[in-house]
Chains A and B, each alone.
Chain A
Amino acid sequence: MKLNKRPGALVATALAGAMLLSACGGGDDNGSGSTGGEGGGTFTAYIGEPKSPLVPGNTTESEGAKVIAALWTGLVGYSEEGEVEYSGVAESIESEDNQNWTITLKDGWTFHDGTPVNAQSFVDAWNYTANPQNAQDGGSYLSRIAGFDELEAGTATELSGLAVEDDLTFTVELAAPFALFPAVVGYDAFNPLPEAFFDDPEAFGTNPIGNGPFMADSEYVPGQGITLTRYEDYAGEDAAQAEGMEFVVYADQATAYTDAQDGNVDIVDVIPPDVIESAESEFGDNFINTEVSQITYLGFPTYDARFADPRVRQAFSMAIDRDAISEAIFSGTRTAADSFISPVVDGYREGACEFCTFDPDAANTLLEEAGFDKSQPVDLWFNAGAGHDAWIEAVGNQLRTNLGLEFTLQGNLDFAQYLPLGEEKGFTGPFRYGWSFDYPAAESYLTPLFTPQAFPPIGSNYSFYDNPQVNELISEGDQAATEEEAIELYQQAEDLIAQDMPNAPLFFTQIQSVHTDNVDNVRIDLFQRPVWSEVTVNG
């Protein structure tokens, strides 16, 4: 369950009123200290305080991941459509049975300290990340590799599925066949680590050494940031356009946005919701709207007697006018969701979720048939302090207007209490949650949310939904010979889920970014991170 928690969001929302004052005023003065030059210049970018040290396998939240993206290049890259591109370290990733994979690396890649990137750098890194003794946040990404369970149980210290063949080749055995494996390994948790890391993992976290387009120029200072310079010996095609860049830590998004208005920080990748409208007119071409992988859901506690009947869940979903809420609460910056698989990945079909269309009459009929008890109010659960209050209340109002239900808001729990409550099947009514993919594949929207192996706390199936047919189809998809076949099977699974409605997809998320006139070519990738190497500085 991902929810991009940003420090200071609390203050930002509390101050929506005061921030209205920022609607006027310039922002064009080209204030950043750029030095110019051919393909040169430096720029600054906003980040919130990363939660973990700057180690790829230990970074799963948005802020640290932005820095990791500049410092590392993974095995594969992704096109803007989410297809795997061999633009990274891997020459090829091949398998005959989708279970035993051979990964061949390109020659000539080096870490920022000059040591070569070889098969050992990957195998060592994966073994380290997967080992629970090292408590790496990204460990669960490696769970498909054979031997992961033994590591978890403490009966092994290395993944048995990994073997180095030669300097540039290693093999990966998966616990079960998985056709989309190449799409998975582009993620941060699969990045290589140099030997220097294993000498002193703690120091590495503030002095990271990667193999990406930028290298660390200074150590990371908590609360302040880190300066990077272009890595001149970079072996990839997407070498950095700018000479250097600096990540500046802001405690509050709103402050970062104000600083961008004055030209003091060049790229703010996510601006506060309350300034979106004014930012669009103020920044003009420098305002970017990007559809990202996150889907917001209203989950149903299928373990609760009131929500055990699929017809009730279908009715709730149809009674919510998603477009109206998007307009009223999010200034139209959310797209009404119409499927369980996000449009940013292959396999999305328009209208795949039959009961996501707004139809109050049909909803009432269904609710009537199911014999839903309207005398008791419906509890609506969401986590506190993350800006969900307004739209959840709007959902409640829609249910009241369209279904004649009363509702009670249950929004007092922080994330740290909210999730454990969900694990204990404690939600007494529909609950909010969001999901971003782990890797750009349709499967990443199904297995972690709708299968019994993803029951919390291991996964994020907080609805405790379990349909053997769905499980069967997903696992067949994992083992399919080609990606096309796999996607077809995943879509069949999605169709069944759409009938059962264990949760109601509500919105596809878009994020809004701004940049100053000092920089150009700012693009946000599918992982919601600016593509740092492409950014050019205007001299």
Chain B
Amino acid sequence: MGRYVARRLLLTIPVMLGASILIFAMVYALPGDPIRALAGDRPVSPAVVQVLTERFHLDDPLWVQYWEYLKGLFQGDLGTDFRGRPVLDTIERTLPVTIRLTIVAVIFEIIIGLAAGVLAGIRRNSFFDNLVLVSTTVIVAIPILVLAFIAQLLFGLKLGWFPIAGTREGWYSYVLPGLVLASGSLAYVARLTRTSIAENLRADFVRTAKAKGLPPRRIIVQHTLRNSLIPVVTFIGADIGALLGGAIVTETVFNLPGIGREVFDAIRAQEGAVVVGIVTLMVFFFIFFNLVVDVLYAVLDPRIRYD
């Protein structure tokens, strides 16, 4: 197992290098002049354009720019943005916000999604099952942008239960955005769990367990749920990786200064160093959580072995 994990972690190095080259090339290929975007609305004199172009190596060919970036990277320097702020500082500032948001969202996904899925799966075709079916369909169908605004206006402004925006009230500020962010995935988790449970309930080993006279709770939790969790864990694992990439819409609407907003602004401003730094980090998260999922398979299903 240890060797397997080590091998997988080693593999992330070429993957991340490859990803960073790709992202670098894509930012490089973006149309328009980043200096103009930086100066915004005012005309800039040719002398200033030249100074900035040289400072950020913008007139160098792609591979030279990338080499400059790599050289810095090996010295632990992720580069600076156009304003002269180190990218590392930007990540340190914005990542905790996104991590908190992700934690809250995943907790909602697991608690509500799993509970709804299990109950619906056990009582198939009951009123509750239909309720879950209909409500998850509705949630999946509504764009998150709309959900976010409705939640903000209803629970924030009208009812006043949650803060409207910002992070002033600590973890409590993350509850509403976390719920909104989780809503889509939560619906998938519920549906996945329901289907999986329903399937496994008809499986031979469950019939055997029932015939042995095991208590129903033990049949559900030990035999059915554990086996049903594999697709759900896969989904949640991949979802954590995606959520850590930042939720641009949720972070924007609820004014959370997270990494998604940062990378969105950076792409618009063609800030190569920021985009590459953050997106490469996202790639790492994605790979890492997929690895965690693979390891969890072995825990959930003893038949899976990695050595």
Contacts and interface: CB of A to CB of B under 8 A. Distances in A.
Given A222-B90, A258-B156, A264-B163, A137 B44 contact: yes
Nearest to A22: B153
Given A11-B145, A258-B152, A416 B45 contact: no
Contact of B36 (A140, A223, A419): A419
A140 B265 CA distance: 26
Contact of A18 (B31, B43, B146): B146
A15 B145 CA distance: 8
Contact of B257 (A15, A22, A223): A223
B153 A25 contact: yes
B164 interface: yes
Interface string B26-48: 00000111101111111111111
Given A3-B41, A135-B52, A140-B45, A261 B157 contact: yes
A16 to B, nearest CB: 11
A293 to B, nearest CB: 13
B32 A139 contact: no
B193 interface: no
Most buried by A among B39, B55, B94, B251: B39
Given A3-B41, A18-B145, A420-B32, A258 B48 contact: no
A131 B145 CA distance: 45
B231 interface: no
Contacts of B44: 137, 140, 457
A135 B261 contact: no
B16 interface: no
Interface string B9-34: 00000000000000000000001111
A327 interface: no
B32 A21 contact: no
B43 A262 contact: no
Contacts of B41: 1-5, 60-61, 415
Contact of B42 (A22, A137, A256, A416): A137
Interface string B252-279: 1111010001100100101000000000
A259 B43 contact: no
A53 B165 CA distance: 24
A150 to B, nearest CB: 11
Given A205-B83, A416-B37, A420-B32, A25 B157 contact: yes
B65 to A, nearest CB: 18
A126 interface: no
Contacts of B242: none
B50 to A, nearest CB: 8
Contacts of B40: 5, 51, 60-61, 137, 415
Given A132-B48, A251-B252, A456 B261 contact: no
Given A18-B146, A221-B93, A223-B94, A60 B158 contact: no
Nearest to A461: B43
Main secondary structure of the interface of B (DSSP, over half): helix
B32 A417 contact: yes
Given A53-B83, A223-B257, A255 B43 contact: no
Contacts of A133: 51
Nearest to A261: B157
A262 B51 CA distance: 46
B281 interface: no
Contacts of B39: 60, 137
Nearest to B262: A223
A84 to B, nearest CB: 23
B46 A457 contact: yes
A11 B43 contact: no
Given A14-B145, A135-B51, A419-B36, A222 B45 contact: no
Interface string A125-169: 000000011011111100100000001111000000000000000
Contacts of A3: 41
Contacts of A139: 45, 48
Interface size class, chain A: 35 or more
B90 A11 contact: no
A37 B51 CA distance: 50
A457 B43 contact: yes
Contacts of A137: 39-40, 42, 44
B57 interface: no
Contacts of A52: 83
Contacts of A152: 45-47
B37 A415 contact: yes
Contacts of B43: 1, 140, 456-460
A49 B265 contact: yes
A222 B32 contact: no
A232 interface: no
Given A14-B145, A140-B45, A415-B37, A255 B157 contact: no
B157 A19 contact: no
Contacts of A172: none
- The winner among A221, A252, A254 for most chain B CB atoms within 10 A is A252
Nearest to B41: A2
A91 B226 CA distance: 81
B42 A2 contact: yes
A18 B51 contact: no
A487 interface: no
A113 interface: no
A249 interface: yes
Contacts of A417: 31-33
A484 interface: no
A296 to B, nearest CB: 13
A416 to B, nearest CB: 3
A460 B90 CA distance: 34
A307 interface: no
Interface in A8-59: 8, 11, 14-15, 17-19, 21-22, 25, 49, 51-53
Given A60-B42, A251-B252, A457-B44, 13 more contacts: A21-B153, A52-B83, A53-B83, A140-B45, A222-B85, A252-B253, A254-B253, A255-B164, A255-B252, A259-B166, A262-B156, A264-B165, A420-B33
29 contacts: A5-B41, A11-B145, A14-B145, A15-B149, A18-B146, A21-B150, A25-B158, A51-B38, A51-B83, A52-B83, A60-B40, A60-B42, A135-B52, A139-B45, A152-B46, A223-B261, A249-B257, A251-B252, A255-B165, A255-B253, A256-B165, A258-B156, A264-B164, A264-B166, A414-B268, A415-B41, A417-B33, A457-B43, A460-B43
The 7 closest A-B pairs by CB, nearest first: A223-B257, A416-B32, A132-B47, A416-B37, A18-B149, A417-B32, A2-B41
